Amino acid sequence: MKMQELKIGKFTARLPIVQGGMSVRNSMSPLAAAVSNAGGIGVIGASAIDNDLLRADIQNCRRLVAQARGIVAVNIMYAIKRFTETVMLCINEGVDLIFQGAGFSREIYKLVEGTNTEVVSIVSSAKAGLLAERCGASAVVVEGAEAGGHLGTDRSINEIFPEVRGAVKSIPVLAAGGIIDGYDIARYLKMGADGVQMATRFVCSEECSAPLAYKQMYINSRQEDIVEMYSPVGMPGRAIRNKLIREIESGTVEFEGCKSQCLRECSRKYCISDRLLKAMDGDVDNGLVFSGANAWKLKDILPAAEIMQNLVREVESVPE
For the chain, list residues with pLDDT below 70: 233, 255-270
Q: Are 184 and 157 in contact (CB under 8 A)?
A: no
CB 280 within 8 A of CB 25: yes
pLDDT value at residue 157: 96
- pTM, whole model, 2 decimals? 0.92
Q: What pLDDT, on a 0 to 100 scale, did the predictor assign at position 268?
A: 60
List, for residues 151-202, the tens digit of each pLDDT value. Answer: 878 899 999 999 999 999 999 999 999 999 999 999 999 999 999 999 999 9
Structural domains of the chain, ranges and CATH numbers in brackets: 6-209+297-316 (3.20.20.70), 212-295 (no CATH)
DSSP 151-220: -S-SS-HHHHHHHHHHH--SS-EEEESS--SHHHHHHHHHTT-SEEEE-HHHHTBTTS-S-HHHHHHHHH
Q: Check residue 25 and give its pLDDT.
A: 83
- DSSP 8-class letter at 43: E
Q: What is the pLDDT of residue 260?
A: 59
How far apart are alpha carbons 315 and 320 in whole angstroms? 10
